[in-house]
Structure 1
Amino acid sequence: MTKFGQENSTTEFKRQLSDALEKEVVAFLNSAKGGDLYIGVDDDGEVLGVSDVDAQMLAISDRIRNNILPSCLGLYDVYAQEHEGKTVIHVVVTRGTEKPYYLKRYGQSPAGCFTRVGSGVQPMTTGMIDQLYAGRVRHSLRNIPAPTTLKLTFQQLKIYYQEKGFEINDTFLHNLDLYVPDSERLNYASYLLADTNSISIKVAKYAGTDKCDLIENQEYGYCSLLKATHRVLDKLEIENRTLTRITGAAEREQRRLFNARALREALINAIIHNDYTAEVPPLVEIYADRISITSYGGLLSGLSLEECLSGRSMPRNRELMRIFRDMELVEHLGSGMRRILNAYDSSIVHISEHFFELRFPMSSEALALIPEVAESGAESGAESGAESLSKKILHLLRDAALSKSELSSQLGLKSVTGALNRAVNALLEAHWIERTLPDKPQSRLQKYRLTHAGRLGTDASGKQDVVDGGDF
């Protein structure tokens, strides 16, 4: 048996693209969990493969987009995958939030509405259709008018699309589902993507491991959500420092404080799945030992924690999902959580009724790499040897804050050398130490002390590594 296993309530195999495509997709959209449709696999799971893959993928996307209502853009994904030397087309369909979905030509009737029963597809009864329609989510971004009477502009959004090679025409906003259905009024999704709005992503930075000492509070927004996303990604890239240790023979060992791809996926997931109808934006919090990324809304109704952790996706805001995929910020439905949990275990996930939070701990391996400062010539003097100058400084600061003169004296130096200045500056830049008088960096009373990250780093590097360097 191949890795595709057997057909079941969430898996369907097709030998080739057929007229039943839309029916299968509608059934998954109307189901409890969505599902996966593989084209190029027979009913027993044997891989047959398909030819002219690009043309078939384009045809599948066009048929789903044009033949199914309500619009399901952002709720499905189509891509090719290789197996046993053959190419299979994988259509991922998430459970829809505006049920019932139906075939456009037959309307919202038993002839057009289908659902998944076991490994098969069955027409829905009139009672089932009425029940789903009564429970339809009406507060989606698509159905809510933009909360402003001012004219919205979309130059930033158009630039992003042009840079990706898309053609901009008069139907651009309509094609992105940025109007309220059956209306010429722009919707809430358009408001989030407009050049100017009132939405911002908050980034707070604290000196310690709690919220007592706020040292930075920034807001990235009041512009297109795409632009705000890129700005916060840039901020996370700056905060995710790379620590280096010279291991000898001009070789360096480098590690970042956090897994960069996991951070990126977490932020994008938070932005896409945030419940903006409550006017609560995503939040990023940077602590001395972790980064927390939180979105409002908790788990979407109908999606269990187990399903979420396994990568089963159900976009809260399908309009945003579609646009972020166009911008290649999202690869496949459900791929983000899988990538996050490939780098971290599920203990980082914290879910309450209204919030979905991911807490990323600093890498202990990275913290063990104390920043190194190159030393050379006569200036190094007593600073050379098995133990680096950086480690010596950190060791001295374990017990008390010291000035540069005090550090110089305890290091056995006659004066404050250039190497000592460079080492202190490197440790400051890496946030391993901090000034006792941060507002007066040139004060003669200035001293330096370990930060929380510095203490974690010296602990992670090990006592033996620090103490037995030769000079203490």
Structure 2
Amino acid sequence: MEALEVLDIIAGGETSKAQFKLNVTNATSIAQEIVAFANTKGGLIIIGVNDKTGSVEGLSYQDIQRINNLLTTAANEQVKSPISIETETVEVEPEQRIIVARVPEGISKPYKDKDGLVFVKNGSDKRKVTSNEELRRMLQRSGGLYAEEQVLPHCTYADIDWDKFSHFYETTYEEPAEPDQERKFENLRLGQGGKPNLAGALLFTNNPQKSITGFFITAIWFWGNDLEADSYRASDYLRGTLPEQFSQARDFLMRTLHKVQSGDTFNSPGVLEIPKVVLTELLTNALIHRDYFIKDTIKLYIFENRIEIISPGRLPNNLTVEQMKRGIRKKRNDILDSLAPNLLEYKGAGSGVLRALKAYPHIDFINDIEAEQVRVVIHRTAKLEA
């Protein structure tokens, strides 16, 4: 790393990507800093810089040797799982040397210190993670845990609508579901040991909300454009299996939308102001790709000037809005994603957003990382082409 580059970073002060240390003598303390960086986006630990004033004070040859050994010991022995870091000695001024330790973003989150504590970066500081829900989401993002595979303790195979499952199985695989329906159910990763998992319950139980709370759609049709309105034109809780929620949500939307004349004559047929394919693709995406670790409803808000579909959870696995709009996709719920094409109007393969934008480009996608939600805003001000 060049001296000028390091000095530029130091001049910018401590951030979520850069931490300063005057010296390091405690392996436990530096291990916690490494854990925090590995659990977030990675970053630099710059040693030999006063973290209070930002002044470069440098290190002796003996300090450099000792600190390099201490960093290696901390990363290998006091971080669980061990993580590889890179260290470099940079001479920023004649005879004034500092250590730059580069900590990568980890691929086996959550990382812990020797006491089992989990830390993440919070601006220029770090904070301890104490929420089980946050830990589960970290595991999910690293590929170590999936919400849809959680077996439901208060739900059994007696709650499954086996006629519905049989129809799906026979239509999809062109072979009888009987005999041994339960084995075939489990082969599709929908349950085990007589109990459905979350995916199995969301797709095939008689009453999913009896066993799993929060996983439905809150639909509200507002009078104006203000979320804080005191009264609504209509509101409803759209419950049931995912296919049932999808059908109810699309029906709710289609009842609220205007129809526009598709031709120049008075008798020309009216078409929806927003194409049906847009509603289909975006509602399905919300149901299939939401974060099921967050026990909250999908919000469907209809305003005079826009429609908002708000899904719990940020985009998965560092996916960006720009990537999503180019058809790139990263799975969060593999079971739901694989079975949805046979249960909902869903094609997968990352093409849904592309189809929606092609049919109606007046759509904004907001990945709200702080609020842990994805907002899709469909503007109602665009004129349909005849």
Q: TM-score, normalized by length of structure 1? A: 0.45
Q: Counterpart of 1:342 in structure 2: which amino acid?
A: K
1:146 aligns with 2:147: no
1:229 aligns with 2:246: yes
Counterpart of 2:305?
289
Shift of 1:162: 6.2
| Partner SS for 1:277 | coil
Counterpart of 1:172?
184
Q: Counterpart of 1:224 in structure 2: which amino acid?
A: T
| Partner SS for 1:215 | strand
Distance 2:141 2:249 in 1: 39
Shift of 1:134: 12
CA shift digits 1:10-53 (9 cap, x unpaired): xxxxxxxxxxxxxxxxxxxxxxxxxxxxxxxxxxxxxxxxxxxx
| Partner SS for 2:304 | coil
Counterpart of 1:187?
197
Distance 2:381 2:177 in 1: 44
Counterpart of 2:338?
322
- Whether the 8 Å contact between 2:357 and 2:363 is mirrored in structure 1 is no
Q: Counterpart of 1:357 in structure 2: which amino acid?
A: R
Shift of 1:240: 3.0
Equivalent residue runs for 1:46-61 within 5 Å: none
Change (3 A) 1:229 1:163: farther
CA shift digits 1:412-436 (9 cap, x unpaired): xxxxxxxxxxxxxxxxxxxxxxxxx
CA shift digits 1:54-100 (9 cap, x unpaired): xxxxxxxxxxxxxxxxxxxxxxxxxxxxxxxxxxxxxxxxxxx999x
| Partner SS for 1:298 | coil
Q: Counterpart of 1:168 in structure 2: which amino acid?
A: A
Counterpart of 2:374?
356
Distance 1:238 1:318 in 2: 32
Change (3 A) 1:224 1:309: same
2:274 aligned to 258, 261, 265, which one? 258
| Partner SS for 1:252 | coil
- Whether the 8 Å contact between 2:274 and 2:360 is mirrored in structure 1 is no
| Partner SS for 1:268 | helix
Q: Counterpart of 2:383 in structure 1: which amino acid?
A: E
2:208 aligned to 182, 197, 218, which one? 197
| Partner SS for 2:317 | coil
1:220 aligned to 238, 241, 247, which one? 238
- Whether the 8 Å contact between 1:240 and 1:257 is mirrored in structure 2 is yes
Equivalent residue runs for 1:10-409 within 5 Å: 135-142=142-149, 144-149=150-155, 151-155=158-162, 157-158=164-165, 161=168, 164=171, 166=174, 167-169=176-178, 170=181, 171-180=183-192, 183-193=193-203, 194-198=205-209, 199-211=215-227, 212=229, 213-221=231-239, 223-244=240-261, 247-248=264-265, 251-252=267-268, 254-327=270-343, 329-345=345-361, 348-353=364-369, 354-365=372-383
Structure 1 vs Structure 2 CA RMSD: 3.2
Change (3 A) 1:147 1:133: closer
CA shift digits 1:244-286 (9 cap, x unpaired): 38744x6526442212211210000000011122211222111
CA shift digits 1:107-150 (9 cap, x unpaired): xxxxxxxxxxxxxxxxxxxxxxxxx99944224311x1115245
Distance 1:231 1:133 in 2: 29
- Whether the 8 Å contact between 2:282 and 2:356 is mirrored in structure 1 is yes
Q: Counterpart of 2:206 in structure 1: which amino acid?
A: D
The answer for unaligned runs of 5 or more in structure 1 is 1-96, 100-131, 370-472
Counterpart of 1:378?
none
Shift of 1:357: 1.1
Shift of 1:365: 2.4
Shift of 1:326: 2.1
Q: Counterpart of 2:147 in structure 1: which amino acid?
A: S
Distance 1:187 1:252 in 2: 50
Q: Counterpart of 1:227 in structure 2: which amino acid?
A: E
Change (3 A) 1:294 1:323: same
The answer for unaligned runs of 5 or more in structure 2 is 1-106, 110-138, 210-214
Give aligned pairs, total.
Answer: 235
Q: TM-score, normalized by length of structure 2? A: 0.54
Counterpart of 2:117?
none
- Whether the 8 Å contact between 1:156 and 1:195 is mirrored in structure 2 is no
Distance 1:361 1:134 in 2: 31
Shift of 1:239: 2.5
- Whether the 8 Å contact between 2:190 and 2:196 is mirrored in structure 1 is yes
CA shift digits 1:223-259 (9 cap, x unpaired): 22222222222222323332238744x6526442212
Distance 2:282 2:141 in 1: 33
Change (3 A) 1:271 1:346: same
- Whether the 8 Å contact between 1:147 and 1:188 is mirrored in structure 2 is no
Q: Which of these two proteins has the greater Rg computed from alpha carbons?
A: 1
